[in-house]
């Protein structure tokens, strides 16, 4: 493995976007269950090796209430659960949000099999690269795999600065998360202290990060929420010694510039025969910031059933920008796929932590008095929506060459 950065201790008071749940140094996790394996239900395909979803759009479908096959794991029993997503632990009382299964219109999703996934990942390194929603996605995958590795000493997570590694030692497989919320270098890159007032980024610099993951066999990227602030400072040269700066208020333009830096780097440095990539489309936040009467996720207990529902706060322009950059990379022969999870996640405004999560900064009286305005409608409770993103990712990894 490459050079690791200094170890950062866990459990600090940090901002609301934050990253770390529980791990500190080397942690061995225990496991006290081994359920979820071995039933067979309507709507969940048998996992024959010849399963194919060719011609079926896995992202177009509907949510089906299914309290028999869902949830795929229990919140309390996941060894890797982080306090940011442990909604029951922090007071959420309803359970229904855990009982929804994603049903594509044209086919069934195969049932998740952690052993089969790890066999596919044998001797490989997977890295999730991005922001706290990417971390949510990664923690969900570890929770899904957890019960398939009964021996706690065979699954170890370690935290090294911006990188958290998970190793399934029997398979010599790593599934890592790398904190890089804007993809390019920025003053938000500290995995703990990144709650800065003015976001500044080196719009053409990515190497410092990219060399940490460029050798991976599989990469899963995401970057969206951090781009939504009105103004960001773009900088050329170094932080200490900038040779040019620009305040950029055009979201799309600065997002395009960063994605260009990112895609240029991939084109030049990625081993195309080796590395397979996924880009997660934007995860909607069900809240209209700055509008007290706007949409919220607080107190919602059921998915939205209206087909094609699209949250007003979702930035379609950023979505199209990411989509076209991904398509360009694909045209140039890189193995990249869009995990087009925006629409399916749009329906689930019941799936967010709202106020039921660890508050890294204790809420003030007035925040407590106004839960609607102070709800987290960005991240997702686990078990929950990111499990479906991973069921789809699993389907690609296992069944699509």
Ligand X SMILES: *[C@@H]1O[C@H](CO)[C@@H](O)[C@H](O)[C@H]1NC(C)=O
The helix/strand count (H/E) of the chain reads as 8, 16
Residues 170-229 that bind ligand X (CB under 6 A): 172
Nearer to ligand X, 38 or 333 (CB): 38
Bridge partners (DSSP) of residue 132 are: none
- Judged by CB under 6 A, the stretch of 10-18, 117-125, 186-194, 349-357 that binds ligand X is 117-125
CB neighbour class for 210 (10 Å; exposed up to 12, middle 13-18, buried from 19): buried
- The catalytic site residues sit at 132, 376, 379
341 with 390: CB under 8 angstroms?
no
For residue 35, the minimal CB distance to ligand X (Å) is 11
CA–centroid distance for 143 within its chain: 13
Describe the crossing of helices 316-331 and 251-269 by its angle, rounded to 10 degrees: 20
Nearer to ligand X, 11 or 39 (CB): 39
Provide the pairing of β-strand 125-130 with 218-221: parallel
Nearer to ligand X, 343 or 374 (CB): 343
Residues 326-365 that bind ligand X (CB under 6 A): 338, 340, 343
Q: d(Cα 362, Cα 9) in Å, to the nearest integer?
A: 20
Q: d(Cα 272, Cα 330) in Å, to the nearest integer?
A: 11
For residue 41, the minimal CB distance to ligand X (Å) is 13
Which residue among 70, 125, 155, 199 contacts ligand X (CB under 6 A)? 125
DSSP 118-160: HHHTTT-EEEEEESHHHHHHHHHHHHHHHTT---GGGEEEEEE
Q: Does 247 bind ligand X (CB under 6 A)?
A: yes
Which residue among 62, 113, 233, 374 contacts ligand X (CB under 6 A)? 113
Q: d(Cα 328, Cα 343) in Å, to the nearest integer?
A: 22
Which residue among 244, 292, 306, 401 contacts ligand X (CB under 6 A)? 244
For residue 51, the minimal CB distance to ligand X (Å) is 12
Nearer to ligand X, 13 or 153 (CB): 153
Q: d(Cα 71, Cα 78) in Å, to the nearest integer?
A: 12
For residue 135, the minimal CB distance to ligand X (Å) is 22
**Per the structure block, which two tokens stand in for 161?**
């600065």
Nearer to ligand X, 98 or 360 (CB): 98
Q: What are phi and psi of 215, to 5 degrees?
A: -85, 0
Residues 142-171 that bind ligand X (CB under 6 A): none
For residue 182, the minimal CB distance to ligand X (Å) is 18
Query: CA quadruple 181, 184, 190, 195: dihedral positive or negative?
Result: negative
Please calculate the CA angle 223-229-232 and round it to the nearest 5 degrees. 90
Q: d(Cα 284, Cα 53) in Å, to the nearest integer?
A: 26
Total of residues contacting ligand X (CB under 6 A): 34
Site string for ligand X, 31-70 (x = CB under 6 A): ------xx--------x---------x-xx------x---
Nearer to ligand X, 82 or 117 (CB): 117
Helix (H, G, I), strand (E, B), or coil: what is residue 164?
strand
399 with 50: CB under 8 angstroms?
no
Neighbours of 291 (CB within 10 A): 12
Neighbours of 109 (CB within 10 A): 22
Nearer to ligand X, 22 or 257 (CB): 257
- Judged by CB under 6 A, the stretch of 24-32, 110-118, 139-147, 283-291 that binds ligand X is 110-118
Residues 273-312 that bind ligand X (CB under 6 A): 273-274, 299
343 with 60: CB under 8 angstroms?
yes
For residue 9, the minimal CB distance to ligand X (Å) is 28
For residue 300, the minimal CB distance to ligand X (Å) is 9
Nearer to ligand X, 14 or 372 (CB): 372
Which residue among 153, 271, 324, 364 contacts ligand X (CB under 6 A)? 271
For residue 74, the minimal CB distance to ligand X (Å) is 14
Given the rule CB under 6 A, which residues bind ligand X?
37-38, 47, 57, 59-60, 67, 105, 113, 115-116, 119, 123-125, 172, 230-231, 236-237, 243-244, 247, 249, 271, 273-274, 299, 323, 338, 340, 343, 371-372
């Amino acid at each position: 493995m490459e050079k690791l950065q200094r170890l950062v201790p866990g459990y600090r008071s940090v901002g609301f976007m934050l990253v770390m749940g529980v791990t500190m140094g080397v942690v061995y996790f225990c496991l006290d269950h081994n359920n979820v394996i071995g039933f067979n239900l309507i709507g969940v395909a048998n996992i024959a090796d010849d399963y194919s979803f060719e011609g079926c759009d896995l992202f177009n479908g509907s949510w089906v209430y299914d309290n028999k096959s869902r949830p795929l794991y229990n919140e309390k029993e996941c060894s890797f659960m982080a306090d940011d997503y442990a909604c029951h632990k922090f007071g959420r009382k309803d359970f229904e949000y855990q009982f929804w299964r994603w049903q594509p219109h044209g086919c069934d999703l195969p049932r998740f099999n952690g052993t089969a996934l790890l066999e596919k990942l044998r001797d490989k390194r997977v890295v999730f690269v991005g922001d706290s929603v990417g971390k949510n996605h990664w923690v969900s995958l570890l929770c899904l795999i957890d019960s398939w590795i009964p021996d706690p000493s065979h699954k170890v997570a370690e935290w090294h600065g911006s990188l958290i590694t998970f190793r399934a030692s029997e398979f010599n497989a790593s599934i890592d998360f790398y904190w890089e919320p804007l993809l390019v270098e920025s003053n938000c890159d500290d995995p703990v202290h990144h709650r800065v007032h003015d976001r500044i980024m080196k719009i053409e610099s990515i190497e410092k990060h990219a060399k940490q993951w460029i050798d991976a066999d599989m990469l899963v990227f995401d970057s969206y929420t951090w781009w939504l602030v009105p103004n960001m400072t773009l900088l050329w040269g170094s932080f200490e010694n900038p040779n040019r700066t620009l305040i950029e208020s055009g979201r799309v333009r600065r997002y395009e510039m960063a994605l260009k830096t990112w895609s240029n780097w991939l084109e030049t440095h990625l081993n195309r025969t080796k590395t397979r990539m996924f880009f997660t489309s934007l995860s909607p936040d069900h809240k209209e910031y700055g509008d007290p009467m706007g949409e919220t996720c607080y107190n919602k207990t059921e998915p939205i059933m209206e087909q094609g529902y699209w949250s007003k706060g979702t930035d379609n322009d950023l979505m199209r920008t990411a989509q076209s950059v991904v398509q360009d990379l694909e045209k140039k022969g890189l193995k990249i796929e869009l995990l087009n999870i925006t629409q399916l996640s749009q329906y689930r405004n019941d799936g967010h932590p709202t106020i039921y999560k660890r508050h890294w900064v204790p809420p003030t009286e007035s925040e407590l008095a106004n839960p609607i305005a102070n709800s987290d409608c960005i991240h997702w409770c686990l078990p929950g929506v990111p499990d479906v993103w991973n069921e789809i990712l699993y389907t690609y990894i296992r069944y699509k060459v």
